[in-house]
A and B are shown apart, each in its own frame.
Chain A
Amino acid sequence: MSSTRPLLSVKDLSVSFATEDGTVRAVDGVSYTLAPREILAIVGESGSGKSVTVMSLMGLTRGVNARFGGSAVFGSTDLLTATEEQLERVRGNDIAMIFQDPMTSLDPVYKIGDQIVEQIRAHENVSKAVARDRTIALLDEVGIPRARERVDSYPHELSGGMRQRVMIAMALSCNPSILIADEPTTALDVTIQAQILERIKQLRDATDTAVIIVTHDLGVVADIADRIVVMYAGRIVEQGTVDEIFYDPQHPYTWGLLGSITRLDRERPRRLPSIPGAPPSLLDPPKGCHFRPRCPHEFAKCTDVPPLEAHIGEAPGHLDRCWLSTEEKRVRREVGDGQIGLARPQEAPA
C-alpha cells in the first residue's frame, strides 16, 4: 500500500482551542496517510481528539478561537490553509462525511430525496429530473427498500438505520474519493450495524473510495479496517495494520483497550479488566507520556514525551509512542492465558 501515492497526507496536525479556562490542545502532532481504496480506522476514547482530527480536514473546526498547525495535503491543496471557496469544492465532491447521529444530521423539514438532489445539483450542472433519478439509484444502492417511494419521505418517517443509509447515500452522491465516517454505527443496533458496515465494505470495493472510520469500538475496527491509528489525549500512541495492532500491540494503552473488550468467543472472566482512572484534561495534560498517570508500567523516563517511531525491523509501518523496549513490551502485555491486557489489573479507585 505504501507504493501508491497517498490520497491524503496529514503531517504534524495540531489543533488547539482557546477557551475561558485556557488553551485546549485537542490534537497534538498527528500524522498519517491514506492510500486509495484503504480503510483507515482512528480509534480512541471520547476526548482523544479523534473526531477533531477528521473534522479539521473538512474545515469544520475553523473558528475564531481555533489554531491549526501542520498540514493536510489532498491532491495539491493543503486543507488547513485552503480558502473557504476551495474547501467548498472539496467538501461533498472529493471528501464526504457521515456523522455519528443520524437523528440530527438530516434537515427535518425537507424530504430526504430533495436533500440529496440539492447536494448533487450544488456540485454538478444537471437537471432536477436527472438528479432525482440518481438519488433513487443511490438510495437503492445503500439498501433502502422501495427507494422510489422512500425518496419522498421525511427524515422522521425513517428509522435510525435507514437515516444512516440516507446519510451514506448523500455522502456518495458526488463519487467522493474519500469517505469520512465519524462513529457511523454507534447509535445503531448491532444487527443494523452489521448491515451498514457490510455496505461500506461493498461500496469501497465497487467504487474504490478510501474510507476513514472514526470509532471507539475495536470490534468494528477488526471487522472493517486495513490500518489503525490509536489516539489518546490528542496524540497518536500507536499505528499499524489491523493485524499488527491486534496481534502485536506495542503501547500499554492499546493493551488496555484490547483487554477491556468483553469477548463473546471466550470464557467470561470473573472481573472485567478495566483501565484504571480516566483520561486527562487537555487543558493541563500530564508532562511526558499522556498515558503515564494510568499506566502500571511507567518509569522515570516516561516524563519525557516518547517519539512515535517504528521499533520492529520487519514492520516499518508499525509505529508506537512508548519508552519500553519491544522485548519488555512483549513480556509485560501478557496477562495470562495468552491474553493481552494492562498488567496488574487494578480495581476502580476505592
Chain B
Amino acid sequence: MSTGAAGASATESGDSNGALLTVDHLKLYFPVKSGVVFRHEIARVHAVDDVTLRLRTGQTLGLVGESGCGKTTLARCLVRLLDPTDGSITFEGRDITHASTREMRPLRSEMQIVFQDPYASLNPRKRVGQIIGTPMALHGTPKDEIPKRVRELLARVGLSPEHINRFPHEFSGGQRQRVGIARALALNPRLIVLDEPVSALDVSIQAQIVNLLDDLQDDLGLTYLFVAHDLGVVRHISDSIAVMYLGKVMELAPADDLYSKPIHPYTSALLGAIPIPDPELNRRRARTPLEGEPPSAIDPPAGCRFHPRCPHATDVCRTVEPPLMWYADGHSAACHHPQNVTPGEIAEATRSEMSPLSAGSSNGSAEAPASGPAEAPASGAADGAATESAE
C-alpha cells in the first residue's frame, strides 16, 4: 500500500514506545449557547477532560464507559472528526492536533472508522460497490481496478463478491456491518476506530463480527480502538482497556487484569452490574447495584468525579482529584481508595505521566508529592486521609 502522506514516516511504527497514535491531555468541551439574536456561551459540556492514551501498533485498546462518558467523542476527536479544545494528538510521530483539512486528507486513508448503527451508516441509495469503491476513487485508485478490489474486500469480510451490485436494504444487520468494515478497509488503513461496532447486532452475529475483526487484525496488522459499553465483548478483543467516566480515564489496564483485579470502584461496579448467564452463580452472587446515574458533564463534581456514587468515598475524594497511579504490570487507576491491591503495591505505585494535569498529589505513597503542576487545593490533607484509609 502507498502511504501517500507527505511526511508520514511509514518506516517505524510511530514514536519511540511503539505507539501508533498518542493522545496527550486531550480536552474537548462543547459550548452550551443561549440567546436568540446574540448567541453567547453560558456553559460548557466537559465531554473529554484531560485524557492521555497510547494506541500501540497492532494492538487493540478497548474504551468502555456508560453512555455520556465521552467515549464516542474521544474516538471521533482522535481521528479529527471533532476538533479538540486543548491537548495534542500525535499520529505516527506527527502532531495532527491542528492539521488542516488539506493536511489531514492523505492521513485519512490511514485512519478509518466503523460506526455503531449499520442501518444509518450506509447510504441507502448507493450500491455496495459504490459504498466501498468511493473512498478508493477519492484517493486515486485507478477506476478500472476498483471493482476487482471491491470484490476482494467483500470476500475478505465474509460476503459474496456477487453482492457488489446490491443495495444496503438487501442485507441483514450483521451483513451491513461487514460492508461497513469493508469500506473501512478499502484504503488499507493502519488504524481503525470501531465505535460500538457490534452493539446493534444479535449475540450470535456479534460473535461472528468480533471473530472477523480478530482475523483482520492478525492478517493486516491493524491497530484498533474499540469503543463499547459491553464489557464482555471488549475483554475478548482488547489487549488493554481504558475505563472512562464523565470525561476522565478512571482505570487503564491489560485486558485480563482489569477483570481479575479491578482497582477502581467504578470498574468493580461496572463488572458487578453485568448479569452472569448462569442462574446458580447469579443467585449466589451478592450484588450491590450502583445507585444513581452519572451527573451532568456541564458541572461535573469536584474532586473525584465518581465520588457521589462511590461506596468508598471520603472527604479527600470530594476535594482532590486523584491522579492516575501506576501500579505494577501496567495497571493504572485514578482512585484515592484503590481496591484489590496490597499496601505494599500501593506504596510502590507511582504517579503516572498520564495523570490529568489538574489532579492532586498521589495517594498512598508519600514519595511522590505533587510531581506535576498540581493545583490541588488541599494536597497535604489528601495524603493524610488517603494513607489512613488505604485499605
Given A159-B293, A189-B66, A348-B212, also A275-B204 (CB < 8 A):
yes
Write the nearest CB–CB distance from A198 to chain B, whole angstroms: 6
Partner of A260, one of B203, B231, B255, B279: B203
**Interface membership of B277, Cβ < 8 A:** yes
Given A217-B203, A273-B207, A348-B208, also A262-B236 (CB < 8 A):
yes
Q: Which residues of B have CB within 8 Å of A268?
A: 235-236, 255-256
**Interface membership of A326, Cβ < 8 A:** no
Given A216-B203, A275-B204, A348-B212, also A191-B172 (CB < 8 A):
no
Partner of B281, one of A216, A218, A221, A265: A265
Q: Verify B204–A190 contact, CB threshold 8 A.
A: no
CA distance A305 to B66 in the complex (A): 44
Partner of B277, one of A160, A161, A258: A258
Most chain B beta-carbon contacts within 10 A, residue among A247, A260, A349: A260
CA distance A219 to B233 in the complex (A): 14
Q: How many A-B residue pairs have CB under 8 A?
A: 135
Q: Verify A195–B236 contact, CB threshold 8 A.
A: no
Partner of A262, one of B158, B232, B291: B232
- In the complex, which residue of chain B has the Cβ closest to the Cβ of A294? B204
- In the complex, which residue of chain B has the Cβ closest to the Cβ of A258? B277
**Interface membership of B388, Cβ < 8 A:** no
CA distance A159 to B233 in the complex (A): 25
**Interface membership of B121, Cβ < 8 A:** no
- In the complex, which residue of chain A has the Cβ closest to the Cβ of B205? A278
**Interface membership of B366, Cβ < 8 A:** no
**Interface membership of B257, Cβ < 8 A:** no
Q: Give the total of A residues in contact with B, Cβ under 8 Å.
A: 50
B-contacting residues, A259-280, CB 8 Å: 260-265, 268-269, 271-276, 278
Q: Verify A194–B287 contact, CB threshold 8 A.
A: yes
Partner of A161, one of B230, B235, B256, B293: B293
Write the nearest CB–CB distance from B341 to chain A, whole angstroms: 20
Q: Which residues of B have CB within 8 Å of A189?
A: 66-67, 229
Q: Verify A263–B276 contact, CB threshold 8 A.
A: yes
Partner of B273, one of A162, A194, A271, A278: A194
Q: Verify A197–B275 contact, CB threshold 8 A.
A: yes
**What bracket does the count of chain B residues touching chain A fall in?**
35 or more
Q: Which residues of A have CB within 8 Å of B314?
A: none
Q: Which residues of B have CB within 8 Å of A271?
A: 211, 214
Given A246-B279, A260-B207, A348-B208, also A193-B233 (CB < 8 A):
no
**Interface membership of B271, Cβ < 8 A:** yes
Q: Which residues of A have CB within 8 Å of B146?
A: none
Q: Verify A347–B211 contact, CB threshold 8 A.
A: yes
Partner of A264, one of B155, B174, B210, B274: B274
**Interface membership of A298, Cβ < 8 A:** no
Q: Verify A349–B158 contact, CB threshold 8 A.
A: yes
Q: Verify B158–A218 contact, CB threshold 8 A.
A: no
**Interface membership of B188, Cβ < 8 A:** no
Interface string of B279-322 (1 = CB under 8 A from A): 11110000101111100000000000000000000000000000
CA distance A301 to B287 in the complex (A): 46
**Interface membership of B144, Cβ < 8 A:** no
Q: Which residues of B have CB within 8 Å of A221?
A: 277
Q: Which residues of B have CB within 8 Å of A195?
A: 289-291
**Interface membership of A243, Cβ < 8 A:** yes
Most chain A beta-carbon contacts within 10 A, residue among B172, B207, B272: B207
CA distance A263 to B279 in the complex (A): 13
Q: Verify B293–A222 contact, CB threshold 8 A.
A: no
CA distance A261 to B236 in the complex (A): 11
Q: Verify A190–B207 contact, CB threshold 8 A.
A: no
Partner of B275, one of A194, A246, A349: A194
CA distance A272 to B233 in the complex (A): 9
Q: Which residues of A have CB within 8 Å of B277?
A: 218-219, 221-222, 246, 258, 261, 263
Partner of A190, one of B174, B236, B274, B291: B274
Residues of chain A at the chain B interface (Cβ within 8 Å): 45-46, 145, 159-162, 189-195, 197-198, 216-223, 242-243, 246-247, 256-258, 260-265, 268-269, 271-276, 278, 347-350
A to B CB contacts below 8 Å, 9 in the list:
A46-B173, A190-B273, A193-B275, A198-B289, A217-B275, A219-B274, A257-B203, A261-B203, A264-B231
14 further contact pairs, Cβ within 8 A, besides A192-B293, A193-B273, A348-B212? A45-B205, A162-B293, A190-B230, A190-B231, A222-B275, A222-B277, A243-B279, A247-B280, A258-B277, A260-B203, A261-B277, A264-B274, A265-B281, A272-B211
